[in-house]
């Protein structure tokens, strides 16, 4: 199940427009000049180890070079566990190999490979304290490793450590900046005070004709899920951001509660080893009727079959 951090990351940076803002801000200038980030496209798939998907979320993009027919891949990994991963360079190499392998499986006649730029976005409260270069993982005397350098894999990933960056250093497009600040400060005791101080920035997000109100909804979803911020406190902290803000907060919180209730029904059935067919799972998860969900949850604790969960009128 995706975490609130994953959901916000993918909702925002899965949009090439916002991903390009991030890359323009943090890639070396020569790389930004050499790539046509306005033509950035999102490629499908995830390359993260299955057992690490509660800690890592990834997005793969492709951008053409400004001069030439080929392009490069940009691999953005969001690392949201509290501590640093000491083997991150090795994990990234594994993911990069998977990307190349997938490409070659679709284009078996290829004889060259696109460059992959590995990028890590981290927001652990203690900051990144692990290697960023693959060569840092090797054991042995320094002089011997130096002599072996040309025979060993060598790369380092581009790290954006939000916990170490000042808010001023994160000034980019309004929505990306809000997301950075949320990831950086989500565990702060004075989060609501900070949120209130970001009202002007949030107003800039709301003013975006393309994503404004949907972006505000994503922000509220994240705050409610990641910190369970009380509705009245959210309304007070975001007063004046947008006339519909109280309504957005209330409807988003209500919807999230119903979604959680629906997920609990499925989990209760599965915990009791009751088979949940795909069509029944979809029906439960799509339901937004509070009374029906309450009724189904009570039954989920005792029924022997999903067919006994629904009322006669609920059945297809």
**Structure confidence at residue 316 (pLDDT):** 46
pLDDT tens by residue, 104-119: 999 999 999 999 999 9
Tokens of 69: 């027919």
Lowest mean pLDDT among 72-86, 134-148, 233-247: 72-86
Tokens of 200: 């002007």
Phi-psi region of 127 (alpha: psi -120 to 50; beta: other; left: phi over 0): left
Tens digits of residue pLDDT in 240-263 = 999 999 999 999 999 989 999 999
- Whether 1 shows a pLDDT value over 80: the answer reads no
3-state helix, strand, coil in the chain (%, to 5): 55, 10, 35
> Strand, helix or coil at 181?
helix
> How wide is the angle at C-alpha 239 spanned by C-alphas 233 and 242, nearest 5°?
125
Burial class (CB in 10 A: 0-12, 13-18, 19+), 67: exposed
Rounded Cα gap, residues 269 and 275, in angstroms: 7
Report residue 2's pLDDT band, with 50, 70 and 90 as the boundaries. Answer: low
* pLDDT, mean over the chain: 91
Confidence band (pLDDT; 50, 70, 90) for 312? low
Tens digit of each residue's pLDDT (9 = 90 or more) over 71-85? 999 999 998 776 789
> What's the CA gap between 177 and 4, in Å, rounded?
17
Note whether 37 and 23 are within 8 A (CB).
yes
With CA atoms as reference, report the closest residue to 93 among 50, 146, 26, 47. 47
Q: Determine the pLDDT at residue 213.
A: 85
Q: 107-119: b or e for each residue (b if 16 or more CB lie within 10 Å)?
A: eeeeeeebebbbb
For residues 144-151, give the mean pLDDT. Answer: 95
pLDDT band at 314 (very low <50, low <70, confident <90, very high): low
The gap from C-alpha 58 to its chain's centroid, in whole angstroms, comes to: 7
Q: What residues contact 181, with CB distance under 8 A and at least 6 apart?
A: 167, 170, 194, 198, 201
pLDDT at 32 exceeding the cut of 90:
yes
Q: Work out the average pLDDT over 146-152.
A: 95
Give the tens place of pLDDT for each residue, 167-193: 888 888 788 999 999 999 998 999 999
**Complete DSSP assignment for 57-93:** EEEEEEEEBSSSS-EEEEEEEEE-SSS--TTHHHHHH
Between residues 129 and 1, the one the model is more confident about = 129
Q: Is 41 helix (H, G, I), strand (E, B) or coil?
A: strand
> Percentage of the chain with pLDDT > 70?
96
192-204 residues labelled b (16+ CB within 10 A) or e (exposed): beebbebeebbbb
Q: What are the tens digits of pLDDT across the range 262-274? A: 999 999 999 999 9
C-beta separation of 131 from 168 below 8 A: no
Q: Quote the CA–CA distance of 76 and 116 in Å, as a whole number.
A: 10
């Amino acid at each position: 199940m995706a975490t609130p951090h994953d959901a916000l990351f993918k909702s925002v940076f899965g949009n090439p427009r916002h991903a390009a803002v991030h890359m323009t801000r943090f890639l070396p200038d020569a790389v930004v000049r050499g790539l046509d980030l306005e033509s950035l496209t999102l490629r499908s798939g995830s390359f993260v180890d299955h057992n690490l998907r509660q800690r890592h979320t990834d997005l793969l993009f492709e951008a053409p070079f400004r001069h030439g027919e080929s392009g490069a891949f940009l691999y953005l990994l969001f690392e949201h566990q509290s501590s640093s991963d000491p083997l991150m360079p090795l994990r990234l190499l594994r993911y990069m190999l998977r990307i190349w392998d997938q490409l070659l499986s679709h284009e078996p006649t290829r004889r060259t490979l696109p460059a992959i730029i590995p990028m890590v976005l981290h927001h652990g409260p203690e900051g990144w304290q692990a290697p960023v270069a693959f060569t840092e993982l090797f054991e042995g005397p320094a002089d011997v490793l130096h002599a072996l350098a040309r025979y060993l894999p060598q790369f380092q990933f581009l790290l954006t450590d939000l916990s170490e960056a000042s808010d001023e250093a994160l000034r980019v497009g309004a929505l990306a900046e809000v997301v950075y600040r949320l990831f950086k400060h989500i565990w702060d005791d004075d989060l609501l005070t900070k949120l209130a101080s970001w009202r002007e920035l949030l107003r800039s997000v709301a003013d975006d004709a393309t994503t404004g109100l949907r972006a505000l909804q994503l922000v509220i979803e994240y705050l409610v899920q990641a910190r369970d911020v009380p509705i009245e406190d959210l309304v007070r902290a975001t007063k004046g951001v947008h006339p519909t803000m109280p309504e957005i907060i209330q409807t988003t919180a209500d919807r999230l509660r119903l979604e959680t209730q629906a997920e609990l029904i499925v989990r209760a059935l599965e915990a009791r080893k009751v088979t949940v067919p795909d069509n029944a799972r979809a029906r439960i998860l799509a339901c937004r009727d509070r009374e029906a969900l309450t009724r189904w949850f009570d039954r989920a604790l005792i029924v022997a079959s999903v067919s006994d969960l629904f009322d006669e009128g609920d059945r297809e």
